Amino acid sequence: MSESKRPRTGGFTRRTFALGALGAVGLVTVGAGAKVLPARSLLRPPGGQDEVALLGTCLHCEKCREVCPQGAIGPVHVEDGLLNMRTPTLDFHGGWCDFCTDVDGGPRCAAVCPTGALALPAGAVLGSTATGETGTVILGVARVNRDWCLAQRGMKCRSCVDACAFKAVTLGYDNVPVVDEALCNGCGSCENVCESMSSGSIAPGATDRAIVVVPLDEVEA
């Protein structure tokens, strides 16, 4: 199924929230200019794809972050808006999300959340998107920046290809990785292993890894 046709959980609500935020642009600043609304879209742990519900119910208790065995959840900082501050976001620098498929109860982060701010909808499908099932949880989509990629620079790197358990990353015609967005669920394993920011391999001007997961509404915009 093509990227445009594949159903994605959370995309509509996130976009709706973004439009709401634009409509309320007059409220963006208060006091000394502190941001109230999100400065950008954010990656959320499984069950946090309804942005309105998450912001309305998250207690900022950080229980989800503490329980994540992969270290894949970080707190949002004030730069991304006061409303978002200390809500959970996925941070693939230290780990990646395996959807807690090792436990019967599913994602530990959602299970420990006391308010349901992280709550998977009934019938949610975790893991592979290959079947195109309605309700598959998509956290984001991986994007490659060729200019920063070691493979593009002739260094024969393929770490992201080998890391993706969902076969969403392959080497293209010129041995630079390409992402099949229809197979990517945004787990972040590729970003986690990307070596482009390692000592001695950083491309001039690079500010992030060469493969990063971006929120769905950045893809759909």
Binding residues for ligand SF4, total number by CB under 6 A:
43
- Tokens linked to 59: 């207690």
**Phi, psi for residue 73 in degrees, rounded to 5:** -110, 130
Span from 4-12, 26-34, 53-61, 186-194 in contact with ligand SF4 (CB under 6 A): 186-194
Contacts of 193 (CB under 8 A, 6+ apart): 159, 160, 162, 163
Beta bridge partners, 212, equal 143
Q: How far is the CB of 174 from ligand SF4 (least distance, A)?
A: 12
Which C-beta is closer to ligand SF4: that of 98 or that of 220?
A: 98
Which C-beta is closer to ligand SF4: that of 83 or that of 176?
A: 176
Does 144 participate in binding ligand SF4 (rule CB under 6 A)?
Answer: yes
Does 119 participate in binding ligand SF4 (rule CB under 6 A)?
Answer: no
The Cα 10–Cα 29 span in angstroms is: 27
Q: Which amino acid is present at 138?
A: I
The Cα 87–Cα 83 span in angstroms is: 8
Q: Are strands 141-144 and 169-171 parallel, antiparallel or unpaired?
A: unpaired
Which C-beta is closer to ligand SF4: that of 76 or that of 149?
A: 149
The Cα 170–Cα 162 span in angstroms is: 9
Does 107 participate in binding ligand SF4 (rule CB under 6 A)?
Answer: yes
Residues within the interface to ligand SF4 (CB under 6 A): 45-46, 67-68, 70, 72-73, 97-100, 107-109, 142, 144, 149-151, 157-160, 163-164, 166, 168-169, 177, 179, 184-190, 194-196, 210-211, 213
